[in-house]
Structure 1
Amino acid sequence: MLQITADYQAAGANRHPSAADWDKSGILAFGADRNIALWQPQGSDSRGIFEILKGHEDVVNAVKFLPGSQGILLSGSVDKNLSIWRQNASTRHYHCIQTLHHQENRNHQSSINCIAVAAGSKIFASGSADAIVKIWSLDEQNVASLQQTITIAPRFFPLALALSPLAGAPDSYVLAVAGTKDIIQLYVLDGQKGSDFKIQATLAGHEGWIRSLEFIRENDKPDSDLLLSSASQDKYIRLWRIHQGKELPAAAATPDPSLGAFMPGKSLSNKAHRFKAQDLDFSATFEALLLGHDDWIYSTKWRYGDNKLQLLSASADNSLAIWESDAATGVWVTTTRLGEISAEKGSTSATGSTGGFWTGLWSPSGETVTCLGRTGSWRLWNFESQQDRWIQGVGISGHTQSITGIAWSKDGDYLLSTSSDQTTRLHAKWKRGNQESWHEMARPQIHGYDLNCIDSLGTSQFVSGADEKLLRVFSEPKAVANLLSKLCGIGGSNIEEMPDAANMPVLGLSNKAIEAVADDVEVVNGNSHGRDAVDPASIVHKSTLNLDHPPSEEHLSRHTLWPEIEKLYGHGYEISCLAASHDGTLIATACKASSIDHAVIRLFETKGWLEIRPPLTAHSLTVTRLRFSADDKFLLSVGRDRQWAVFERDADEKATYKLADSNPKGHTRMILDAAWAPATTSVFATAGRDKKVNIWAKDESSKAFICRSTISETHPVTAIDFLDSMVGDVAYLAVGSETGFFAIHSVDFKNGFSIQMLAVKFPRLAPIFLPLYEVPSDPS
């Protein structure tokens, strides 16, 4: 049996403040579409995602490790289900041990938005879009059972929960609930009087939805007060104190009237909310107002270390802030601000701001912080004690929507991927010393339409198609060529003839070539009348392009675009598929079609970028896949009309193809993919929604392609490909289904095209999961 291991996994994180958590073991878990990705940000190998957990049926909104539980992970999803995962002590892999399914009436009946856990406890809370909070308890086998259902009144959707034991009151807990109202509700479980949480206080003060809640002990003393942070869309963070005792804490007893000066027309309430638990008196009071962010605040995370409290906040203003209380005055101030400086707060522009940070996390040691941005990528900073500052490290990135096409460069040095998230990404292997790891090295195209297909035209060009009826051709800039050469050992050709870099003009879709300027050159920003002003985003300094590590998210989105060199027109509808010939001289394309008139294949030559007429005709519905044979002698097409067609190249007119064979009943359902066998022009495979893969071979007497073998699968087959070289008389065929399972088969050409499965099917992966698998040359 072949041994196949995943060498690289890239997945964009879900944009939800509760969709990530960092365990004390060093593992960071985050929602990636309907799955959970695991990453070790402080790993020495910079590997990135090392495991993806499947099980949910829709987007994962909430992920939480249970503190002190030896590897228990909780997750909640739009599919209304809660899942409990446990790490195997020997293999270190996680597996699902229980799913609290929504089909049970007592469980959630709407999207789960947040989960709260308490340190040293086996109870947890979950909040759902049905305006209900549920309390759960884990037994000794970590099996969860429902303890209480809380219907929120007045009704609002919970977006944030926080749970903590009460000091001095064993088995008593306080639960904070907030969401689509500007209030925080405190529920208290009195461990002496029963097992139900009851509402005891409503904290007012915010003026927008509340996105994050987090409890922490003020210090390591057992009777220390609890502090609660709340982050809101009103751009403010509020701190609340839960104090044990009849007397009020000093801040509540002696309010500072000067605080109101920061908010004109508003007064800060210091009302004390009193409650009891196990006959002990408690009070909840407003503690401090933290001002400094310029946009919505999505998350706050506490950390206690070095005898001081620190609060990490992430905001839509593209900043990550670290707050500390001033030792002399007690005022909370920002000691560190990380992220971007941008005038376009919360913008979604391609080369402008990244649209804000959705969540920020501390490492267990506090020496590293990470944050998640709008593009699904993680940024990372490490604290350098010798320099006394935070240094940006290597984060990870990935597509946030379905990947619609992948293509290797012609020499196999890097991989291009394109997606419905409207980006094209370049992945390559970072080589340094004895270490190697895959990373996103460039983002050549950031588009305004969903991208559908891509293919490489050589070592430094590619063509892509989108939902816009035309194709765009891109050429590598000097900045990316130098980066790939320096970090990946990929030697570029004609680097001096390349433009320095590219940028996307405001309100434009075409990347334009630009020149980098020296660091000491001053750019004149327009004339005296303000005309011909230079967009600051288009100015690139040469030092910016010189990196010794994979580019950060900001660098990827601003400085690794490829200039567009050509547009190819002709189709009447959205581009459905394309293929470039192996010699790079031809591009074949097709578009979405419901009639014979549009179900044509257009050919373009790459010397003058002109269409070769007339277009090729054979299909009556959308062509789903185009493939050139290894020697470009044949062009294979398959479509939704259930047929395949083979076009043969004219011996004299190399740019001309003519229909050589077709089968209108190639499959009983639509055909979704096709592939030529290596080192031959007489064998190809087709895959269809009828759950079959057919192997077709040319009959030497009739010159027609006939079906010689069939692979039957349990689900519709959506993708196939042959290994690009033969092993003896055997070809390897990878087969993937719409459920995410795939298998490797061997096809023996000399033994009647007999087929043998060589690799077991892998678990379902998310549609945004991009795997690279390494197959050994020795099949044994």
Structure 2
Amino acid sequence: MLQINADYLAAGGNRHPSAADWDITGDVAFGADRNIALWRPQDPDSQGVFQILCGHQDVVNAVKFVPRAPHVLLSGSVDKNLIIWKKDERSGHYTNIQQLHHQDSDNHQSSINCITVASDSTIFASGAADGTVKIWSLDEKYEAFLQQTIVVTPRFFPLALALSPLAGAPNSYVLAVAGTKDIIQIYVRDPAVSTDFRLQATLAGHEGWIRSLEFTTESNDPDSDLLLSSASQDKYIRLWRIHQGKELPAAAPSADPSFGAFLPGKSLSNKAHRFKAQGLDFSATFEALLLGHDDWIYSARWRSGPSGIQLLSASADNSLAIWVPDPATGVWVTTTRLGEISAEKGSTTATGSTGGFWTGLWAPSGKTVISLGRTGSWRLWNYDAQQERWLQGIGISGHTQSITGIAWSKGGDYLLSTSSDQTTRLHAKWKRGSKESWHEMARPQIHGYDLNCIDSLGESQFVSGADEKLLRVFSEPKAVANLLSKLCGIKGSGIEEMPDAANMPVLGLSNKAIDAVEDGEEVLNGNGQGRDAVDPASIVHKSTLDLEQPPSEEHLSRHTLWPEIEKLYGHGYEISTLAASHDGSVIATACKASSIDHAVIRLFETKGWLEVKPPLTAHSLTVTKLRFSADDQYLLSVGRDRQWAVFRRDSDNKLTYTLSESDPKGHSRMILDSAWAPDSSDVFATAGRDKKVRVWAKDEGATTGFTCRSTISETHPVTAIDFLGKMLGDGVAYLAVGLETGFLAVHSVDIKKGFATQMLAVKYPRQDFLSLIFKVDSLTFSQHILKSIESYYTAGLETCSITERGWGIGHGTRNRERRQLIAGLFL
């Protein structure tokens, strides 16, 4: 059997304040569409995501570790289900040990939005869009049992929960609930009266939805008061005190508004809400108002350390803030602000804006903080005690919607991926000494349309197609070439002739080449409009382009764009597929079509970027895949009309292809993919929704006449295939087959012995296949499926590594109109 190992996983995070948590063991879990990605931010080797958990049927909204249960993880999703995950001590991987399904009438009947866990026990609560909060308890086997259902009244959807034990009252707990109203409800469990949580107080003051709640103790004293933080869309954070005793706590100190303690012009109520537990008196009072953010606040997280308590807030204003109480006055002030600078707020994605931070997390040590932005990327900051400042470290990134195309560079040095999230990303291996790790090294294209396909034109060019009905050709800038050379050891050619960098004008779709300037050089009228103001997006300093580690999210989105050098027109509908010849001289493209008139294949020559007319005709519906043979003598096309067609290259005019033969009944249902056998223009394979993979070949010595020589039957529609780029042994080809279910198999095809096939490996990746791509030595062969796969099946991810050779997988899913990318690269 073949050895299978994962080398690189990239996943964009879900934009939900509750969709991430940091365990005391150092693992971070975050929602990645319907999956959960696991990452160790403080890993010295910077390996990124190390496992992806699959089990939910829809977007994951809530992820929470259980502090008192080692390596237990809770997750909730739009699919209405709760899943409990447990880490296996031997393998180090998390597995699904229980699923609380919505089909059980006692469980949630709508999207689960938040989960909270008590710090001293295995009691947890979940809130959902059915307007209920459910209280659960884990037994010794970590199986959950429902204890209580709270119907929230007045009716609102819970978006945030916080649960904590009450100091001095054994087995008593306080639960805070908030969401799509501007109030916080306080529920208390008093075992002396009842085992149920009962509503004891309603805290008012916010003027918008509340997105985050969290309790902490004010000190390490066993009788310490509880502090509750609430972050709201009204741009403010409120602190509330839970105090034990009949007497009320001292009023919060007043302060000058510049300290960020109180909101000017507002009447801040300090109404006391009293309740009892275990015969003890408690009160809930307003403590402080924290202002300083300019937009919605999505999360506020506590940290208790040797120097006291700190609060980390994340906001849609593109910033993180760290708050501490002033030792002299007790007034809460901002000591650190991280993230985007104010001058860049409101700018386009291409020039830097992240669209806000959706969550911020503390490391257990308090020496690292991470934050998730709109682009799905995690940013990381480490505290440097010597410099007494936070320094940005190496985060992780990934597409936020499904990958629609992947392509190796011609030398196989880096991988290009393009996605429905309207970005193209370049992935390469960072080499430093004995350590190696994969990272996103550039973001060549940030677009305004969904991107559907991509292929490499050489070491420094690629072409992509989108829903905008045209193709765009991009060329590598000097900044990226130098970065790949310095960090990855990828030596390019013609670097001196390359432009320094590229930028995208505001409201534009075409990347423009720009020159870098020296740090001290003054630039006037940089926007080209004759004004005194300078467009900051049009200026980049040379020092900014010189990096010692993989680029951060800010750098990726601003300084690693590739300039666009050409547009190719001709199609009347969205581009469905493209392929570049191996010699880089011809680009073949097709678009979505429902008639013969549009189901044509257009060829473009890359010397003058002109269309080679007339277009190629054979199909009557959308062409789903185009493939050039290894010697470029043939162009293979397959389509939704169930047929395949082979076009032959003219021996005199290398830019001309003519129809050689076709089979209108190649499959009984639409054909989704095809691949040429290695080092051959006489053998190819096709795959379709009829659950078949067919191998077609010419008779020995024949120049025409492809016939079906072998058929591989699968249990579900086949959505992706690819041949290994070299023969193994005496005429044996390896064929990878990916099914709609996520099933992956590797077959051998003995071309010299009657095309006998044998299954060599069977694996179950985490997701449905949207892409397969083989990489063998310096040869590259790419494949992608343009039709989104809607089905989803749970399984553990593994993939194939074939003895000193490698191959990559891009895979993803679609949930209605919202897609999410999970990409994997395996060597």
8 Å contact kept, 1:402–1:767: no
CA distance in 1, matches of 2:580, 2:75: 43
8 Å contact kept, 2:629–2:676: yes
Task: Find out whether 1:731 has 2:733 as its counterpart.
Answer: yes
**3-state secondary structure, aligned to 2:465:** strand
Aligned pairs for 1:659-678 (under 5 A) are: 659-678=659-678
Q: Deviations over 1:574-593 (max 9, x none)?
A: 00000000000000000000
8 Å contact kept, 2:262–2:289: no
8 Å contact kept, 2:763–2:799: no
Task: Evaluate the alpha carbon distance shift between residue 408 and residue 261 of structure 1 in structure 2; reply closer, same or farther with a 3 A threshold.
Answer: closer
The code of the aligned residue for 1:304 comes to S
Shift of 1:260: 11
8 Å contact kept, 1:682–1:698: yes
Aligned pairs for 1:449-488 (under 5 A) are: 449-488=449-488
Shift of 1:775: 2.1
Deviates more, 1:749-758 or 1:542-551: 749-758
If the length of structure 1 is used for normalisation, what is the TM-score? 0.97
Q: Deviations over 1:115-161 (max 9, x none)?
A: 01011211100010111111111111111111111111111111100
**3-state secondary structure, aligned to 2:763:** coil
What is aligned with 1:710?
711
Q: Deviations over 1:343-385 (max 9, x none)?
A: 4546663323110100000111111100000000000011111
Shift of 1:777: 4.6
Q: 2:803 aligns with which of 756, 772, 776?
A: 776
Task: Find out whether 1:753 has 2:780 as its counterpart.
Answer: no
Task: Evaluate the alpha carbon distance shift between residue 263 and residue 192 of structure 1 in structure 2; reply closer, same or farther with a 3 A threshold.
Answer: same
Shift of 1:689: 1.1
The code of the aligned residue for 1:725 comes to K
What is aligned with 1:763?
765
Q: Deviations over 1:508-554 (max 9, x none)?
A: 10000000010001111469996374311221000000001000000
Higher relative contact order (CA 8 A, sep 6+): 2
CA distance in 2, matches of 1:658, 1:261: 75
Task: Evaluate the alpha carbon distance shift between residue 59 and residue 28 of structure 1 in structure 2; reply closer, same or farther with a 3 A threshold.
Answer: same
What is aligned with 1:744?
746
Q: Deviations over 1:287-336 (max 9, x none)?
A: 11111111111001110011310111111111111111110010111111
What is aligned with 1:171?
171
8 Å contact kept, 1:621–1:639: yes
Shift of 1:440: 0.3
What is aligned with 1:531?
531
CA distance in 1, matches of 2:512, 2:255: 56
CA distance in 1, matches of 2:193, 2:358: 40
Aligned pairs for 1:32-43 (under 5 A) are: 32-43=32-43
What is aligned with 2:319?
319
Deviates more, 1:39-48 or 1:531-540: 531-540
Q: Deviations over 1:656-684 (max 9, x none)?
A: 11111111111111111111111111111
**3-state secondary structure, aligned to 1:485:** helix
Aligned pairs for 1:402-551 (under 5 A) are: 402-525=402-525, 531=531, 533-551=533-551
Aligned pairs for 1:229-244 (under 5 A) are: 229-244=229-244
Q: Deviations over 1:633-676 (max 9, x none)?
A: 00000000011000010111111111111111111111111111
Structure 1 stretches of 5 or more lacking a match? Answer: none
Shift of 1:764: 2.4
8 Å contact kept, 2:301–2:361: yes
Task: Find out whether 1:573 has 2:600 as its counterpart.
Answer: no
CA distance in 1, matches of 2:35, 2:303: 28
Task: Evaluate the alpha carbon distance shift between residue 395 and residue 257 of structure 1 in structure 2; reply closer, same or farther with a 3 A threshold.
Answer: closer
8 Å contact kept, 2:60–2:78: yes
What is aligned with 2:789?
none
Task: Evaluate the alpha carbon distance shift between residue 21 and residue 346 of structure 1 in structure 2; reply closer, same or farther with a 3 A threshold.
Answer: farther
Task: Evaluate the alpha carbon distance shift between residue 763 and residue 689 of structure 1 in structure 2; reply closer, same or farther with a 3 A threshold.
Answer: same
Q: Among all aligned residue pairs of Structure 1 and Structure 2, give the percentage whose two residues are the same amino acid.
A: 79
Task: Evaluate the alpha carbon distance shift between residue 344 and residue 544 of structure 1 in structure 2; reply closer, same or farther with a 3 A threshold.
Answer: closer
The code of the aligned residue for 2:390 comes to W
8 Å contact kept, 1:452–1:575: yes
8 Å contact kept, 1:347–1:355: no
Q: Deviations over 1:45-75 (max 9, x none)?
A: 1000100110000000000000021111000
**3-state secondary structure, aligned to 2:350:** coil
8 Å contact kept, 1:717–1:738: yes
Deviates more, 1:735-744 or 1:51-60: 735-744
CA distance in 2, matches of 1:527, 1:33: 39
**3-state secondary structure, aligned to 2:359:** strand
CA distance in 2, matches of 1:276, 1:469: 67
What is aligned with 1:586?
586
Q: Deviations over 1:84-112 (max 9, x none)?
A: 00011211111001110011111111110
CA distance in 2, matches of 1:514, 1:333: 42
8 Å contact kept, 2:2–2:801: no
The code of the aligned residue for 1:776 comes to T
**3-state secondary structure, aligned to 1:472:** strand
The code of the aligned residue for 1:753 comes to F
What is aligned with 1:401?
401
**3-state secondary structure, aligned to 1:558:** helix
The code of the aligned residue for 1:175 comes to L
What is aligned with 2:780?
none
8 Å contact kept, 1:11–1:769: no
**3-state secondary structure, aligned to 1:251:** coil
Number of aligned residue pairs: 778
CA distance in 1, matches of 2:585, 2:632: 10
What is aligned with 1:221?
221
**3-state secondary structure, aligned to 2:482:** helix
Task: Evaluate the alpha carbon distance shift between residue 256 and residue 526 of structure 1 in structure 2; reply closer, same or farther with a 3 A threshold.
Answer: closer
CA distance in 1, matches of 2:171, 2:158: 24
Task: Evaluate the alpha carbon distance shift between residue 281 and residue 262 of structure 1 in structure 2; reply closer, same or farther with a 3 A threshold.
Answer: closer
CA distance in 2, matches of 1:249, 1:521: 58
Deviates more, 1:763-772 or 1:578-587: 763-772
Shift of 1:703: 2.4
Structure 2 stretches of 5 or more lacking a match? Answer: 773-797, 807-827
CA distance in 1, matches of 2:233, 2:769: 31
Shift of 1:573: 0.4
What is aligned with 1:92?
92
Aligned pairs for 1:281-320 (under 5 A) are: 281-320=281-320
**3-state secondary structure, aligned to 1:5:** coil
Shift of 1:743: 1.8
**3-state secondary structure, aligned to 2:324:** strand
What is aligned with 2:195?
195
Deviates more, 1:727-736 or 1:623-632: 727-736
The code of the aligned residue for 1:751 comes to K
What is aligned with 1:686?
686
The code of the aligned residue for 1:730 comes to V
Task: Evaluate the alpha carbon distance shift between residue 439 and residue 766 of structure 1 in structure 2; reply closer, same or farther with a 3 A threshold.
Answer: farther
Task: Evaluate the alpha carbon distance shift between residue 138 and residue 49 of structure 1 in structure 2; reply closer, same or farther with a 3 A threshold.
Answer: same
**3-state secondary structure, aligned to 1:4:** coil
8 Å contact kept, 2:3–2:800: no
CA distance in 2, matches of 1:527, 1:645: 50
Shift of 1:726: 1.3
CA distance in 2, matches of 1:371, 1:773: 33
CA distance in 2, matches of 1:468, 1:334: 46
The code of the aligned residue for 1:241 comes to R
The code of the aligned residue for 1:742 comes to L
The code of the aligned residue for 2:723 comes to F
CA distance in 2, matches of 1:276, 1:766: 53
CA distance in 1, matches of 2:760, 2:345: 52
The code of the aligned residue for 2:737 comes to V
The code of the aligned residue for 1:331 comes to V
CA distance in 1, matches of 2:762, 2:323: 51
The code of the aligned residue for 1:382 comes to N
Task: Evaluate the alpha carbon distance shift between residue 778 and residue 624 of structure 1 in structure 2; reply closer, same or farther with a 3 A threshold.
Answer: closer
What is aligned with 2:610?
610
**3-state secondary structure, aligned to 2:558:** helix
